Amino acid sequence: MLTCDNYHLPITLQDALVLWAAAPEGSRLVAGATDLLPWAREGRAGEVHIPALVDLSRVAELHGYTTAKGRVRLGANTVWQAFLTDSALRRLLPCMPHCSSWFADDQIREQATLAGNLANASPVADGTPPVAALNGVLELAHLEGDTIVARTVAVSDFVLGPGRTVLEPGEIITAVTLDSASGYGGSFQKVGQRRSLVISVACCAALVKTDNTGCVFEDVRLSLGGVGPRPIRLNRLESALRGERISHGLIDRAAHMAAAEVASRSRQQYRRSVVVSFVGAAIRDALADQSDVVVNFQDTEETASV
Amino acid sequence: MSELWVELEINNRKIARKTQAHKRLLDFLRDDLHLTGSKEGCGAGECGTCSVFVDGRLVKSCLMPVAKASGCKVETIEGLAAPGQLTTIQQAFHKTGASQCGYCIPGMVMAATSALRQNPQAGIEEIKERLGGNICRCTGYTKIFEAVELARAVIAGDQSEDVLAEEPVGKSYIGHNQRRIDAPARLSGRLKYAADIRMTDMLQMQVLRSPHAHARIVSIDTSEAEAMAGVAGVITSEDVPGTDGFGVFVHDQPVMARGKVRHVGEAVAAVAAEDLITARQALAKINVVYEELPGVFDPEEAMQPGAVVLHDYAADNIVKHIPLRKGDVAAGFAEADIILEENFSTQQVEHAYLEPEAGIAYVDADDVVVVISPSQNITHHRQMLSRILDRPINKVRCIMSPVGGGFGGKEDMLYQGMLALAAMKTHRPVQLVFTREESIVASAKRHPSRVRYKMGLKRNGQILAIRFSMISDGGAYGMSSEGVMRKAAILSCGPYEVANLCVDTTAVYTNNTPSGAFRTFGGMQAQFATESMMDIAAEALEIDPFEIRRVNMMLPGSKTHTQQELNSASLDRVLEAAEAASRWETGAPHMRGATRSDLGGADTRAPCTLGARFAGGRPGADGKERVW
Ligand SMILES: Cc1cc2nc3c(=O)[nH]c(=O)nc-3n(C[C@H](O)[C@H](O)[C@H](O)COP(=O)(O)OP(=O)(O)OC[C@H]3O[C@@H](n4cnc5c(N)ncnc54)[C@H](O)[C@@H]3O)c2cc1C
């Protein structure tokens, strides 16, 4: 059970940073509280008393999103449901709606933020793979005197390990910026114990862009979650596909390369076989998700040989 | 504990008041405003019994700090329809029988309302997905989905409101679609389950549970907890005035651990305090010194000579052995053309009813100890309590509150004694509400079982002899184990007439969570083994699986395994109906043709796939805004 001495609801970033800098040791930031509250239960943290909870959900500067120079800047208060309900975000970030539909449920997605998901730094967070595929960067802010000072960190550098990030005391994630991937097809594969309301055992995000004849991979982005302490971008695989003629055989060969990336300590064999089929399926689903392009495979799935 | 001023609108009424800063919206609704239609089934966002609208968006109120709702418009189940009325969706739930125990229903109605508000044309796959955050343990969801589709049709004007009305009864209620009379109370959230009841001056109880599977209790020091402000009383087994022991067959379980603990999660002491937080804090002040003992966690190990003994009265750790004999098994096997031997095992299962255990006890003005709980067996609980509390039976009263799902799991007594003792000690009403975690740790489970099976058959599929031996893990206490073993033995070899059988079912004490009643009561474990054997035999003898069952099925005049002569039997008709409904392709199990005709038909259910919302077009591809 969670109890606290103080619950703050600041409405400006300045106030939030002041409160956060002054918060006694053991205090916590609150976004959607969907990780925080279940954590404070029997079997996990149990009885938790927190000096100050600083709730960011009313901070105006963290609301909404903007686009500029090929990037989308999502305020830290952006919730998962927005990736489904906001048509511009669906177009700009094609892998996010697929990830979102696998994420928790409609109700939790109304509360849960992408920033909170990244800050929680679970090795099986669904947010990290698609953000990594979109070359995500986190904007972090802290106070120096009265001045707000910002720095940026790539998502791949942000997570240090399970539950650990580069966030310094007094620092708040203010935004997550992502490549705008309009015109790409996106997909997300996930396996867990159930279909709804389930944490991934492994997951995979993909973004694919072909030339307009649907014959050649112009760009491919792939990343895996749940297979190691940090999200993995499949760089080797991506370059093996980029610029190549699209064929099932090629996709299958590429997918097999992914097995080598599995570094998680538990259920390695299982995760390896899952990852191979995930990568294949992720690429094919992302190809099918591209709007206005009909993909032209060089071979058929039956004739493809690995 | 700091306080917070919240101003918000709930069901179109302005609310402004102080509350504790750490509260969740769910606590505020239930405890401060007595809006108990929203339930707490898990407290971790998994089950959806607490779903409410905040500014038009459906959220789980157990995951929302109340501060977040300040300044917002909140809509709860109580606010959907005018008093005494039901919305179209609620009426549709009533019509299709979607509400059973009712505990998930307020949340489910909220989720259905949200789904149809978001997309009044939502197809069945989308409906399933949008209800994906709400768990029901009674219905299997079919009737709920039916209700949402019916409501959609009525709201859209595709069907008239008449379809929601009560259907006139013809000559018989049998085969008639009768609306349940208790459904509106559940659909409107008005029905009070034990956790929803508030009494003046009521205390909250919390239970200290054992972290050890097997340990001697050296000492329990409650003095520090007793001395805390707000604590009204602490109880241990010392407080039991009568004969301490309960169970359905053997009274081997003390109200709270006495001398030693036998499983993780066993109650050791309990605190009744002015509020929940004080009670929880007081638990941390109780000092229990344990001396750990070796434990035994496997029933077959527990049966070995020299194994750790749990109960002095049962040196062999046997809770109950039920032997059943019929005919001459050796002769039967000698005549058999084929003998099959297999081992089967089944796992422990939690009932996971959506209502965690809860109850209230008080001593009334006539000195009657009253216990209100969702007990599935109040008469027996009352008799046991009378002995434990050392009171004549007319001074013990058990009231059954609505059961928010039981499935047998609320049959075995568990916490009712503790509540009674605390009420007697404090002379105030005392309420105990389990958390989900506590329910899983402390309540009885389905018996894990191992079956050794030997079956002898003739070439035509006729069973000549069966040797069936089941070892079940009874866990730390007897509870319903004996009954479960009896039922497992009675049903062991299935609805088949077997001339020669030798059946043994045995429940064994271990330091695992106690096993108890769970629907089918041992039958499921036995049938899993028997029906698997039937299929294995069909394959070995190259006989159609329906055929081998027909060869052996009990008929009028057959003698059951316990040698009762049947004067009626219906398996022939059941098999016929199942064969037709499954579009069975006749032949031995491995003789299937190239295509399967039994899959994917109108009466089969496809697995849920996610992304039904994408089906209406690619995101943004058509340029048109859809409701997502
Ligand atoms: C039933 C259920 C199902 C779930 N399903 C999934 C799932 O399918 N996939 C998945 O990945 N996760 C899932 N989760 C976990 C959780 O919902 C997500 O991780 C969510 O995105 C967390 O976001 P939040 O806004 O609720 O974070 P919070 O709980 O508010 O915060 C999480 C952590 O991040 C910190 N934090 C929050 N915002 C900031 C900020 N701006 N700057 C710095 N630190 C910050 C907090 O201090 C805290 O430590 C599920 C949770 C539940 C209860």
Q: Identify which has the larger pLDDT, B603 or B204.
A: B204
Q: How far is it, in rounded angstroms, from Cα A302 to Cα A252?
A: 12
B72 touches A: beta carbon within 8 Å: no
The two beta strands, B396-400 and B369-373, are: parallel
Q: How far is it, in rounded angstroms, from Cα B283 to Cα B310?
A: 26
Q: What is the pLDDT of residue B615?
A: 62
Please write down the HEC assignment for all residues of B363-417. ECCCCCEEEEECCCCHHHHHHHHHHHHCCCHHHEEEEECCCCCCCCCCCCCCCHH
Q: Measured in whole angstroms, how far is the alpha carbon of residue B484 from the centre of its chain?
A: 16
Among B60, B65, B620, the residue with its CB nearest the CB of A108 is B60
pLDDT exceeds cutoff 70 at B451:
yes
Is A61-179 CATH 3.30.465.10? yes
* Band of pLDDT at residue B618, cut at 50, 70 and 90: very low
Of B540, B547, B552, which Cα lies nearest the Cα of B584?
A: B547
* Among A47-61, B75-89, B161-175, the least confident range: B161-175
* Band of pLDDT at residue B596, cut at 50, 70 and 90: confident
* Among B80-89, B284-293, B538-547, B592-601, the least confident range: B592-601
Measuring CA to CA, how many Å separate B82 from each of B90, B107, B135, B200, B426? 12, 18, 26, 28, 41
Among A1, A87, A195, the residue with its CB nearest the CB of B280 is A1
Q: Measured in whole angstroms, how far is the alpha carbon of residue B26 from the centre of its chain?
A: 23
Is there a contact between A2 and B132 if contact means CB atoms under 8 Å apart? no
Among A33, A85, A196, the residue with its CB nearest the CB of B132 is A196
Q: Which two tokens stand for residue B63?
A: 């995951």
A156-184 average pLDDT score: 96
The helix-helix angle for B105-118 and B88-96 (nearest 10°) equals 120
Among A85, A101, A108, the residue with its CB nearest the CB of B45 is A108
* Band of pLDDT at residue A230, cut at 50, 70 and 90: confident
Task: Answer for the pair A56, A31: CB distance below 8 angstroms, yes or no.
Answer: yes
Closest C-alpha to ligand 1, atom 31? A116
Q: With a 6 A CB cut-off, is A74 part of the ligand 1 pocket?
A: no
Domain ranges of chain B: 3-76, 88-167+179-191, 317-348+446-614
pLDDT exceeds cutoff 70 at B620:
no
- Torsion sign across C-alpha atoms A31, A34, A35, A37: positive
A277 touches B: beta carbon within 8 Å: no
Give the nearest ligand 1 atom to A34 CA: 26
The two beta strands, B358-363 and B430-433, are: antiparallel
Q: What is the pLDDT of residue A305?
A: 55
Give the mutation target among A20, A99, A117 for probing the ligand 1 site: most ligand atoms within 8 A of CB: A117
A256-284 average pLDDT score: 86
pLDDT exceeds cutoff 60 at B315:
yes
Of B430, B431, B361, B427, which Cα lies nearest the Cα of B396?
A: B361
Which residues of A fall within a CB distance of 8 Å from B7? none
A11 touches B: beta carbon within 8 Å: no
B220-226 average pLDDT score: 98
Please write down the HEC assignment for all residues of B200-224. CCCEEEEEEECCCCCEEEEEEECHH
Is there a contact between A101 and B59 if contact means CB atoms under 8 Å apart? no
Of B129, B296, B584, B327, which Cα lies nearest the Cα of A109?
A: B129
**Amino acid sitting at position B500:** N
* Among A291-295, B38-42, B47-51, B96-100, the least confident range: A291-295
Q: Which two tokens stand for residue A195?
A: 């279909």
Give the DSSP letter string of A43-72.
TTT-SEEEEEEEE-TT-GGGSSEEEETTEE
Is there a contact between A291 and B618 if contact means CB atoms under 8 Å apart? yes
Q: What is the tens place of the pLDDT at every residue in B104-119?
A: 999 999 999 999 999 9
Q: How far is it, in rounded angstroms, from Cα A142 to Cα A171?
A: 5
Interface with A, mutate which of B57, B208, B278, B613 (most A CBs under 10 A): B57
Is there a contact between B133 and A101 if contact means CB atoms under 8 Å apart? no
pLDDT exceeds cutoff 80 at B444:
yes
pLDDT exceeds cutoff 50 at B607:
yes
B123-134 average pLDDT score: 93
Q: What is the tens place of the pLDDT at every residue in B519-529?
A: 999 999 999 99
Contacts of residue B153, defined as CB under 8 A and 6 or more positions apart, other chains included, come to B159, B163
Q: How far is it, in rounded angstroms, from Cα B427 to Cα B232?
A: 10
Is there a contact between B64 and A33 if contact means CB atoms under 8 Å apart? yes
pLDDT exceeds cutoff 80 at B255:
yes
Under CATH, which number does the domain B317-348+446-614 receive?
Answer: 3.30.365.10
Element (H, E) at B464: strand B463-475
Q: How far is it, in rounded angstroms, from Cα B388 to Cα B377?
A: 17
pLDDT exceeds cutoff 90 at B295:
yes
Is there a contact between A41 and B610 if contact means CB atoms under 8 Å apart? no
Q: What is the pLDDT of residue A199?
A: 79
Element (H, E) at B93: helix B88-96
Is there a contact between A33 and B621 if contact means CB atoms under 8 Å apart? no
Give the nearest ligand 1 atom to A36 CA: 29
SS3 at position B360: strand
Domain ranges of chain A: 2-55, 61-179, 185-289
Q: Measured in whole angstroms, how far is the alpha carbon of residue B474 from the centre of its chain?
A: 18
Q: With a 6 A CB cut-off, is A169 part of the ligand 1 pocket?
A: no
pLDDT exceeds cutoff 50 at A304:
yes
Q: How far is it, in rounded angstroms, from Cα A98 to Cα A118?
A: 17
Is B88-167+179-191 CATH 1.20.120.1200? no
* Beta carbon pairs, A and B, within 8 Å: 131
Task: Answer for the pair B250, B482: CB distance below 8 angstroms, yes or no.
Answer: yes
Residue with tokens 């509540």: B419
End-to-end CA distance of chain A: 53
Q: What is the pLDDT of residue B617?
A: 42
Identify any residues that bridge with B306 across adjacent strands, giving them in sequence order.
none
Contacts of residue A163, defined as CB under 8 A and 6 or more positions apart, other chains included, come to A120, A121, A122
Contacts of residue A169, defined as CB under 8 A and 6 or more positions apart, other chains included, come to none
Element (H, E) at B334: helix B329-335
Q: What is the tens place of the pLDDT at every residue in B560-573?
A: 999 999 999 999 99
* Among A196-200, B126-130, B621-625, the least confident range: B621-625
Q: What is the tens place of the pLDDT at every residue in B492-517?
A: 999 999 999 999 999 999 999 999 99
Q: What is the tens place of the pLDDT at every residue in B457-488?
A: 999 999 999 999 999 999 999 999 999 999 99
Closest C-alpha to ligand 1, atom 14? A104
Of B493, B514, B513, B466, which Cα lies nearest the Cα of B340?
A: B466
* Among A50-59, A101-110, A264-273, B343-352, the least confident range: A264-273
Its ipTM equals: 0.95
B277 touches A: beta carbon within 8 Å: yes
A101 touches B: beta carbon within 8 Å: yes
The alpha carbon of B63 and the centre of ligand 1 are apart by a number of angstroms equal to: 11
Q: How far is it, in rounded angstroms, from Cα B269 to Cα B272?
A: 10
Residue with tokens 């001396």: B291
Q: With a 6 A CB cut-off, is B46 part of the ligand 1 pocket?
A: yes
Q: With a 6 A CB cut-off, is A17 part of the ligand 1 pocket?
A: no
pLDDT exceeds cutoff 90 at A71:
yes
Residue B295's φ and ψ, nearest 5 degrees, are -115, 170
Alpha helices in chain A (DSSP H): 13-22, 36-39, 82-85, 87-92, 96-101, 106-109, 114-120, 128-133, 155-158, 235-241, 248-257, 268-289
pLDDT exceeds cutoff 90 at A1:
yes
CA distance B623 to chain A (A): 9
Q: What is the pLDDT of residue A198?
A: 75
**pLDDT averaged over every residue in chain B:** 95
**CA angle (A26 as vertex; A23, A31 as ends), nearest 5:** 75
A305 touches B: beta carbon within 8 Å: no
Q: pTM value?
A: 0.95
Residue A216's φ and ψ, nearest 5 degrees, are -125, 140
Q: What is the pLDDT of residue B608?
A: 64
A1 touches B: beta carbon within 8 Å: yes
Is there a contact between A94 and B619 if contact means CB atoms under 8 Å apart? yes
A119-137 average pLDDT score: 95
Q: How far is it, in rounded angstroms, from Cα B575 to Cα B590?
A: 20
CATH topology of domain B3-76: Ubiquitin-like (UB roll) (3.10.20)
Give the nearest ligand 1 atom to A30 CA: 30
B236-247 average pLDDT score: 98
* Band of pLDDT at residue B627, cut at 50, 70 and 90: very low
Which residues of A fall within a CB distance of 8 Å from B2? 4-7
SS3 content of chain B, % helix, strand, coil (to 5): 30, 25, 45
Q: What is the tens place of the pLDDT at every residue in B362-382?
A: 999 999 999 999 999 999 999
- Of all residues in chain B, the one with the smallest CA distance to A6 is B2
Under CATH, which number does the domain A185-289 receive?
Answer: 3.30.390.50
* Band of pLDDT at residue B171, cut at 50, 70 and 90: confident
Question: What torsion do the CA atoms of A184, A188, A189, A191 make, to the nearest 10 degrees?
Answer: 170
Element (H, E) at B15: strand B13-20
Give the mutation target among A2, A35, A107, A224 for probing the ligand 1 site: most ligand atoms within 8 A of CB: A35
Q: What is the DSSP letter of B566?
A: P
* Window A:169-198, CB contacts with B under 8 Å: 195-197
Task: Answer for the pair A254, A237: CB distance below 8 angstroms, yes or no.
Answer: yes
Among A55, A197, A292, the residue with its CB nearest the CB of B46 is A197
Is there a contact between A5 and B70 if contact means CB atoms under 8 Å apart? no
Which residues of B fall within a CB distance of 8 Å from A85? 628
pLDDT exceeds cutoff 60 at B554:
yes
Q: With a 6 A CB cut-off, is A143 part of the ligand 1 pocket?
A: no
Domain A2-55: top CATH class: alpha beta
Task: Answer for the pair B208, B282: CB distance below 8 angstroms, yes or no.
Answer: no
Q: Which two tokens stand for residue B348?
A: 């422990």
pLDDT exceeds cutoff 80 at B600:
no
Among A42, A53, A102, the residue with its CB nearest the CB of B610 is A102
Measuring CA to CA, how many Å separate A110 from each of A79, A129, A199, B57? 6, 21, 17, 7
B149-153 average pLDDT score: 98
A89-118 average pLDDT score: 96
pLDDT exceeds cutoff 50 at B622:
no
The alpha carbon of A179 and the centre of ligand 1 are apart by a number of angstroms equal to: 22
Q: How far is it, in rounded angstroms, from Cα A97 to Cα B259?
A: 57
Q: What is the tens place of the pLDDT at every residue in A33-47?
A: 999 999 999 999 999
CA atoms within 13 A on the CB side of B55: 8
B610 touches A: beta carbon within 8 Å: yes
Q: How far is it, in rounded angstroms, from Cα B364 to Cα B369?
A: 6
**CA angle (B554 as vertex; B553, B558 as ends), nearest 5:** 145
Q: What is the tens place of the pLDDT at every residue in A231-242?
A: 889 999 999 999
* Band of pLDDT at residue B231, cut at 50, 70 and 90: very high
CA distance A64 to chain B (A): 17
